[in-house]
Amino acid sequence: MAPKTEIDRELMQLESDMKRLEGEYTMYFAGRLPRPPWESRSRVDALVKRIDRLHIHNTAERFRFSTLQTRYSTFCDLWERALRAKEEGRPIPGRLRAGGASAPEAPAAPVTPAEAARGRKDDLMHVASFRNPATEPDKVKELYERVAEARRATGEPAVPFERFRDLVQHQVAKLGQGGEVAFKVALKDGKVNLTSRAIKARDDEGG
């Protein structure tokens, strides 16, 4: 079936480009490409930013894009950790060596507006990781906007940015111990759920 809207066409292109980029990273870490696929990644980055600037009024399309953003963010975190491991001479995560990254899959079909408004159990929306939030203000702002958007969709009250920023800094200081802390935004039983956990060094080794 042909795409019905411009947003639908953009999302289909994003899904296709992400799949191609994932394959190129897999080939690079397997030694079949001489360097990381920076050009392809730049194209995907630009497409994500372009779609993000559009006004997506359809709830299903908005959640479909949010899911793709989350998946891409998860892949990028994994690729960056693998690149650091490669540069430092440490083992590359096994799920990349074994033939592909493991990350949340986009739904086979867009969720219905009713599902989106109600929120399915553990519907992952965004993932971000921090080592020092004070030096990563753009990432903190993006995480805040994802949480705020999700809370608006579920009718929950807004949280002041300053309070949210302090919470992120507190959790990183509490859990990080010099390493990274991952934050996950998900819809759980119809409510927005923000969780955090330390990314241990062993996450980068073997798998």
Model pLDDT for residues 142-161, shown as the tens digit of each residue: 899 888 877 876 778 888 99
**Contact, 103 vs 75, CB < 8 A?**
yes
Query: Does residue 46 fall inside a structural domain?
Result: yes
Please tell me whether residues 37 and 14 are part of one structural domain: yes
Token pair, residue 143, equals 């995480």
Q: What is the pLDDT of residue 100?
A: 46
Please tell me whether residues 162 and 92 are part of one structural domain: no
Please tell me whether residues 73 and 149 are part of one structural domain: no
Please tell me whether residues 84 and 144 are part of one structural domain: no
Residue 204 or residue 4, greater confidence: 4
Domain range for residue 182? 119-207
Token pair, residue 108, equals 């086979």
Reported confidence tier of residue 127, pLDDT bands at 50, 70, 90: confident
Reported confidence tier of residue 140, pLDDT bands at 50, 70, 90: very high
Tell whether the model's pLDDT for residue 203 goes beyond 60.
Answer: no
Please tell me whether residues 3 and 45 are part of one structural domain: yes
Model pLDDT for residues 86-124, shown as the tens digit of each residue: 888 877 755 454 444 444 443 333 443 444 444 444 567
Please tell me whether residues 90 and 192 are part of one structural domain: no
Mean pLDDT of the chain: 79
Model pLDDT for residues 22-65, shown as the tens digit of each residue: 899 988 888 888 999 999 999 999 999 999 998 888 888 888 88
Reported confidence tier of residue 128, pLDDT bands at 50, 70, 90: confident
Q: What is the pLDDT of residue 116?
A: 44
Reported confidence tier of residue 71, pLDDT bands at 50, 70, 90: confident
Query: Does residue 202 fall inside a structural domain?
Result: yes
Model pLDDT for residues 50-62, shown as the tens digit of each residue: 999 988 888 888 8
- Render the burial of 20-54: b for 16+ CB within 10 Å, e for the rest: ebbebbbebbeeeeeebbeebbeebeebbeebeee
Q: Across the strands, what pairs with 127?
A: 184
